[in-house]
Structure 1
Amino acid sequence: EWAAAASKGPDYWELEVAVPFDQLGTGIAEGAVWSGNVSRARWLKREYSTWSPIKRTFHDTANFGRIVFTSDLEAVEGRIDEIEFTALKAGLLEPALAEVEQSVQAARRTADALPGACRPRMLQSILRLDGRLRNLQARLATLTPDNFREQWARLYGRLEPLRFEASRLQDEAVMLAATDGGERPWNFFITRAMTNERMLSDRWPRTPLPAPELALAACPGEYESATFSVYAVRELRNVRLSIEDLACGATVLPASCIEPYAVKCWYQAGRGIGDLGQRLLTPELLLKDDDLVRVDYRRQANFVRARPGSSEYLDCSLKDSSNLAEFVPRDAETLLPLTVPERTLKQFWLTAHIPEGTPAGAYEGRVVVSADGVPPESLPLRITVLPFTLAEPVLEYSIYYRGVLTPDGRGSISSEGKSEQQYAAEMHDLVAHGVVNPTLYQGYNERLLTRAFEIREAAGMTGKPVMSLGCGTGAPQTPQELTALRERVKQWLDFVTARGYPGLYVYGIDEASGDRLKAERDAFAAVHEAGAKVFVACYKDYFGLVGDLLDMPIWAGRPDAAEAVKAHSVGHRIFNYAHPQCGVEEPETYRRNFGLFLWKAGYDGAMDYAYQHSFTHEWNDFDNQSYRDHTMAYPAENGVIGTIQWEGFREAVDDVRYLATLLQAVDAAKSAGGERARRAAAAEQWLAETDFETADLDAVRAEMIRRIIELR
């Protein structure tokens, strides 16, 4: 219910936004003071503007401005310093001091119960920190409305290191308590796989699951993930994983159906695709050879092995990637032994692929973790194979795939030119993650197109219309130009239908709007006359301009249910992308936004951008001034290297497959009548009432499983 209006002047633009207070969940009172800022970013030109000047990022709350609600402006203008000081004290200073105080007290309580010699050492560290805190509190207590502007920045700057040290000491105390005062060499944590909470290599985990075992449930043919982490109290050399066969009575689930990976934390330039200028330690890569990438924590830099078998490492965190010109990444075939440095965390990832035809039941086994000089540790592993198979998803899953086969057959370490080996590996990877109809960027070359389709078909990509960006509409205006477009489209259509594909979609001008989009109407009509359809990424104004001609809009951003209704009203489909673009290292975000939430919004499918897009070099997040590379799986010489966000996308697809299975069970139960029909109605009501944008998706999955079994 927000309202907004914008206008342009000769050398300025202005925006007015009205936000009802009840939409913010609050009200106002006379003299109320809020902290806030208004920020603007123009990513392509690297232009940033803010109402209140900031130091580094838009989230620099210490430098937010103050919004004062008053009916007496003159009185407020005479109290600016007092208002600013009060707001800083109540909004930043007091909460920050309380946070440090709580961490110190929590560390002290834990340290009091520690055994042996580590207790007095820990208490001494806490005492020193407490002394620094009291000293800073005394200095801050001298601040007044008259003097705070000269001293605030310096004193507040001393508080942030204290917050970090207090948090570190709290983690240290918990670690010592969990490892018998540091006598045990390691500690194990089981956490959710599909979470945006990051398991950082330099932190003690705050939210491990209470479960004593690794447990997952999956249908025959399904992929499902689990994760655990090892915290090294002292350096652990040659850490190895051994997975035993799992058994359910006399039936065996072979260990070979479980792929183990090491999760690599490395530095990235930010969180969002346009979030640049930071160096954030980020868990992302799923590696078999953990030493393929080395991280220098002091310099906050990443280094990659130059080529297979080499001892040379290249810095892949510079602003210039020319040193990566000969870089050839190749991962190992199996998980190699690795070293976990002292006082660091190493996350491991298990991806189970349940063989087709596996009987239902609870299969139990172990993951054995060993290291030099340390007794092996066993983690119980339980896989519940469900008594049904999954239906195909009710949404169609595509993705912008930029890769093309090169004329000379040579690949590259980028999103673009691919060898046949790379192309085949990426097609199989796409299918394994539920994407059965990625876009086609290959231009019209019958030899290369034929080979591209052969590789796709071998991976299981058949029976869907071809989504071609190798054939685009442009915006032709003259009769000759329109005739040439029709002929080009007909050539493509003849080629794909001859291979058995049911149709062709041709891409419009990417993300066009306004007059630029309207100018494509004749081109869209020409595509229809040639027997094909049109798809393109677009924004909110598309329907009034070309809604009657655009067969499949790819809606940008948060899916708007009203736009789905519009598209369906003219018999068209609507897909979604950029919610967010690919490459944000947040598995839960992709699972949520491209799964059940997208279905609830009434959309027909997902086509996010992009599987890979190398804005400069795909393996360097710091070498482009406009965007971070978009990456779901990193290109390698012999295939792909996966990421945790790509696993989250697969979970989105699987959630929708469970949904499709439930809907089929509902339809069958309604036809049966009686108690089954009543349960079917209850399942429909549950689906209608559940908010998939906020619900616990693991709990939702469990409830869908329960209802499917109940309705069978």
Structure 2
Amino acid sequence: MSEAVGPVGFQVLGTTVPKDAESTPIPEGWIEKQREGINTTMPEVTDEEQARGYVTFSKNYLEMVYPSTCPTRVEVSDILEISSAPDAFEISTLSVRALRDLENVQVTASDLTSEFLAIDAENIEVRSVRCMPNRIWAKNEYIVTPTLLELRDQLNIAKDTTQRFWITVYVPPETPAGDYNGSITIRPQNGTTQTLAIRLSVVPVRLRTPPVRQGMYANLVILQRDMPNMKALPEDQLHRQLLDMKVHGMDTIFISFGPTLTSTKDATGIHFDMSPIKPFASLCQQVGITHVIWNFWTDEFIPKYNPHNEAFGTMVKAFVDDWRARGWPKLIASAGDEADANGTLEKCMKAFKEIRHAVPDIEIFTTVVFPENSEVFEPLADIRGFSSYADETITVNTQNAKRNCWMYSGTSDYGRNGIGDRMYRGIWAAKLELEGVLDWTYWRPSLDYEQPFNDLVDNGSVRPNFSCWVFPTGTGPLPTTGWESMREGIEDLKYIYTLQQLIKERREANGTDDKLAAEAEAVLQKLFDEVDTSVRPRKPDGSMDNSKFTISIARDKLTPAFFIDLRDILAEHIMKLQ
């Protein structure tokens, strides 16, 4: 079994799914469906390809490749090309279409070299994409879908099926600009070896980090059916997960489940035993997680840990005081969830009022399902976290109220649609001027904690079991394709922010009519205009049509080519203004 090496972003990841999760039990009567629009027709195969036993091809990583996917002739290539700024991870993919059963296939990468410097092969990781049955919402149907990225020494590829390989290149911070060349070698035990060229173009761009909180809902517990007695995750697993979030650009965590706590009362007040939280909070400090949002009663946090029958606000203050006394990351308070849409608004506002009275200086976060409800949490909520129904109205309304504008969910595809994940974390966040971006959830099965790798849990629910971007294993977290796309979106946001700052600085130095600044601003606006943030449509009766998320409507209007152009255009204008 391979072990992850190289940069921390590779070292923290797991290798493969557990043995007992390598196949998914299909419930009786469930039907497999095929994704529409897949090319399943092979081009005419050359004599060389036939003798080799396979055809290699490459698609942009945002295009899905299924076991039944066939290449077009134009996609068959012997070179992979990547462009990157220094101190960044970039993605390429190659796929192998087997013309006969292939055994023990290995795919390896060489160093990348230029005239003066080499990027060691340890900075290149090759993972294989595991396709798994993914349930179709509310139906006893499923599609075998690209889901997880595994690190394997070798694998078999059955005849007339396609196996995708996911190549991640890390460009170290001080890497000089220029072209770096290397190779990817495909070596089946019972076939001919093929070597593809890989070319990395390092652009002379120094990206700046925008002041936008990027984060995830996450757990710091072992999920189990005995919810009142949850135990903290082992420290090594916590460390790997927090590092994984950090190297993917995250600095904020929303705790959706915390470990069971106890509290005592004496002459000095109420005190929580914070030892179950200490490993998590200390590791957050260590890896650079700067903000933690804690929900105080979604899971009856205070009632469960309040044997003293004290007021809600008194217990919140005791917890906050104990947290702050340890110098842990900045704590943000929340209570309830989606109260504008589920009938709990009065209860939620009462909780916010007590928190504000007990801890006047703490920021209060709330979730808002519908943009038209943005004002119902006034005057108590400092941070408005909007749902996937968010549109362009949230920006001006929240800014006028002098509140912070966040979102707490994107397209909710749980790692299975990279376009939406990348758009949300990057250009969508920039266009709506978001100050924070979250997603539910880093990892958590929806239905059965004991079957985290089975999406087809047949327990009467309409929901799939997968509702996460990462799957934990004993060797570390296994990423989904969408989790990697999120990091690309956060990188897009850095490009956008860098260009915006350079435009501002150029005008401060040369005047508001500076030509290069005007050109860059026009190009940026044109990119923004391609992202549809308009209000969701209405039904014939005039009511809002909630059948599809606003952000999902925008996602469906974009293609992988948009994101290729986005990076190229932004890099070009950054270099002009630097």
| TM tier relative to shorter chain | 0.7 to 0.9
Aligned partner of 1:429 in structure 2 is 244
Secondary structure at 2:573 match in 1: helix
Deviation at 1:678, TM superposition (A): 1.5
- Kindly indicate whether residue 521 of structure 2 is the aligned counterpart of residue 684 of structure 1: yes
| Contact 2:232 2:277 survives alignment (8 Å) | no
Deviation at 1:211, TM superposition (A): 6.0
Higher mean alpha-carbon deviation, 560-569 vs 345-354, is at 560-569
Aligned partner of 1:89 in structure 2 is none
Structure 1 residues 370 and 565: alpha-carbon distance in aligned structure 2, compared to 1, 3 A threshold: same
| Contact 1:390 1:661 survives alignment (8 Å) | yes
Question: 1:277-288 alignment to 2 at 5 Å?
Answer: 277-288=140-151
Structure 1 residues 453 and 167: alpha-carbon distance in aligned structure 2, compared to 1, 3 A threshold: closer
Match among 76, 81, 87 for residue 215 of structure 1: 81
Secondary structure at 1:454 match in 2: helix
Deviation at 1:252, TM superposition (A): 0.7
Match among 647, 670, 673 for residue 507 of structure 2: 670
Aligned partner of 1:536 in structure 2 is 366
Aligned partner of 1:349 in structure 2 is 166
Q: Please tell me the residue identity of whatever aligns with 1:256.
A: E
Aligned partner of 2:3 in structure 1 is none
Q: Give, in whole Å, the separation in 2 of the partners of 1:536 and 1:206.
A: 48
Aligned partner of 1:385 in structure 2 is 202
- Kindly indicate whether residue 322 of structure 2 is the aligned counterpart of residue 459 of structure 1: no
| Contact 1:186 1:233 survives alignment (8 Å) | yes
Q: Give, in whole Å, the separation in 1 of the partners of 2:422 and 2:188.
A: 35
Q: Please tell me the residue identity of whatever aligns with 1:191.
A: K
Q: Please tell me the residue identity of whatever aligns with 1:447.
A: S
Q: Give, in whole Å, the separation in 1 of the partners of 2:120 and 2:302.
A: 58
Deviation at 1:419, TM superposition (A): 1.6
- Kindly indicate whether residue 49 of structure 2 is the aligned counterpart of residue 193 of structure 1: no
Q: Please tell me the residue identity of whatever aligns with 1:419.
A: P
Q: Give, in whole Å, the separation in 1 of the partners of 2:298 and 2:318.
A: 13
Aligned partner of 1:621 in structure 2 is 455
Q: Give, in whole Å, the separation in 1 of the partners of 2:47 and 2:364.
A: 61
| Contact 2:430 2:496 survives alignment (8 Å) | no
Deviations 1:131-163 (A, max 9, x none): xxxxxxxxxxxxxxxxxxxxxxxxxxxxx9xx9
Q: Please tell me the residue identity of whatever aligns with 1:380.
A: A
| Contact 1:361 1:384 survives alignment (8 Å) | yes
Deviation at 1:511, TM superposition (A): 1.4
Deviation at 1:601, TM superposition (A): 2.1
Match among 126, 132, 136 for residue 260 of structure 1: 126
Higher mean alpha-carbon deviation, 491-500 vs 395-404, is at 491-500
Match among 435, 441, 457 for residue 610 of structure 1: 441
Deviations 1:379-425 (A, max 9, x none): 11111222233211343211111232799xxxx9xx98522121111
Secondary structure at 1:229 match in 2: strand
Question: 1:90-101 alignment to 2 at 5 Å?
Answer: none
| Contact 2:133 2:456 survives alignment (8 Å) | no
Secondary structure at 1:512 match in 2: coil
Identity %: 22
Q: Give, in whole Å, the separation in 1 of the partners of 2:211 and 2:570.
A: 15
| Contact 1:368 1:378 survives alignment (8 Å) | yes
Match among 505, 508, 513 for residue 332 of structure 2: 505
| Contact 1:179 1:187 survives alignment (8 Å) | no
Deviation at 1:584, TM superposition (A): 4.6
Deviation at 1:677, TM superposition (A): 2.9
Question: 1:546-557 alignment to 2 at 5 Å?
Answer: 546-557=377-388
Q: Give aligned pairs, total.
A: 488
Q: Give, in whole Å, the separation in 1 of the partners of 2:231 and 2:434.
A: 29
Match among 698, 701, 709 for residue 564 of structure 2: 698
Q: Give, in whole Å, the separation in 2 of the partners of 1:664 and 1:249.
A: 33
Secondary structure at 1:177 match in 2: coil
Q: Give, in whole Å, the separation in 2 of the partners of 1:341 and 1:473.
A: 47
Q: Give, in whole Å, the separation in 2 of the partners of 1:692 and 1:659.
A: 15
Q: Please tell me the residue identity of whatever aligns with 2:348.
A: E
Secondary structure at 2:156 match in 1: strand
Structure 1 residues 490 and 236: alpha-carbon distance in aligned structure 2, compared to 1, 3 A threshold: same
Match among 471, 475, 481 for residue 638 of structure 1: 475
Q: Please tell me the residue identity of whatever aligns with 1:704.
A: L
Deviations 1:357-383 (A, max 9, x none): 222221111111111243321111111
Q: Give, in whole Å, the separation in 1 of the partners of 2:208 and 2:309.
A: 43
| Contact 1:582 1:611 survives alignment (8 Å) | no
Q: Give, in whole Å, the separation in 1 of the partners of 2:176 and 2:334.
A: 45
Deviation at 1:706, TM superposition (A): 0.6
Q: Give, in whole Å, the separation in 2 of the partners of 1:657 and 1:457.
A: 23
More helix by share: 1
- Kindly indicate whether residue 431 of structure 2 is the aligned counterpart of residue 600 of structure 1: yes
Q: Give, in whole Å, the separation in 2 of the partners of 1:476 and 1:420.
A: 25
Deviation at 1:208, TM superposition (A): 5.9
Question: 1:19-168 alignment to 2 at 5 Å?
Answer: none
Match among 220, 233, 237 for residue 418 of structure 1: 233
Secondary structure at 2:397 match in 1: helix
Match among 338, 341, 359 for residue 176 of structure 2: 359
Structure 1 residues 600 and 675: alpha-carbon distance in aligned structure 2, compared to 1, 3 A threshold: closer
Q: Give, in whole Å, the separation in 2 of the partners of 1:423 and 1:470.
A: 22
Deviations 1:463-499 (A, max 9, x none): x3x211256697999xx99962222222232233334
Deviations 1:93-122 (A, max 9, x none): xxxxxxxxxxxxxxxxxxxxxxxxxxxxxx
Structure 1 residues 707 and 652: alpha-carbon distance in aligned structure 2, compared to 1, 3 A threshold: same
Secondary structure at 1:682 match in 2: helix
Q: Give, in whole Å, the separation in 2 of the partners of 1:287 and 1:516.
A: 42
| Contact 1:258 1:350 survives alignment (8 Å) | yes
Q: Please tell me the residue identity of whatever aligns with 2:483.
A: W
Deviation at 1:596, TM superposition (A): 0.5
Match among 512, 520, 531 for residue 348 of structure 2: 520
Deviations 1:160-214 (A, max 9, x none): 9xx99x975xx14x1x43456834411110110123xx21112313486476421
| Contact 2:135 2:142 survives alignment (8 Å) | yes
Secondary structure at 2:218 match in 1: coil
Q: Please tell me the residue identity of whatever aligns with 1:371.
A: P
Deviation at 1:429, TM superposition (A): 1.0
Secondary structure at 1:527 match in 2: helix
| Contact 1:393 1:653 survives alignment (8 Å) | no
Deviation at 1:278, TM superposition (A): 1.3
| Contact 1:405 1:442 survives alignment (8 Å) | no
Q: Please tell me the residue identity of whatever aligns with 1:281.
A: V
Greater Cα radius of gyration, structure 1 or 2: 1
| Contact 1:527 1:533 survives alignment (8 Å) | no
Structure 1 residues 583 and 183: alpha-carbon distance in aligned structure 2, compared to 1, 3 A threshold: same
Q: Give, in whole Å, the separation in 2 of the partners of 1:225 and 1:569.
A: 40
Question: What is the root-mean-square deviation of aligned Cα atoms in Å?
Answer: 3.3
Which consecutive residues of structure 2, in runs of 5 or more, have no partner in the other structure? 1-29, 262-272, 532-556
Secondary structure at 2:58 match in 1: strand
Secondary structure at 1:504 match in 2: strand
Aligned partner of 2:410 in structure 1 is 579
Q: Give, in whole Å, the separation in 1 of the partners of 2:235 and 2:71.
A: 42
| Contact 1:431 1:461 survives alignment (8 Å) | yes
Which consecutive residues of structure 1, in runs of 5 or more, have no partner in the other structure? 1-55, 61-159, 289-334
Question: 1:232-271 alignment to 2 at 5 Å?
Answer: 232-270=98-136
Tell me: higher relative CO, structure 1 or 2? Use CA pairs within 8 A at least 6 residues apart: 2
Q: Give, in whole Å, the separation in 2 of the partners of 1:543 and 1:481.
A: 36
Structure 1 residues 364 and 186: alpha-carbon distance in aligned structure 2, compared to 1, 3 A threshold: same
Higher mean alpha-carbon deviation, 539-548 vs 419-428, is at 539-548
Structure 1 residues 211 and 663: alpha-carbon distance in aligned structure 2, compared to 1, 3 A threshold: farther
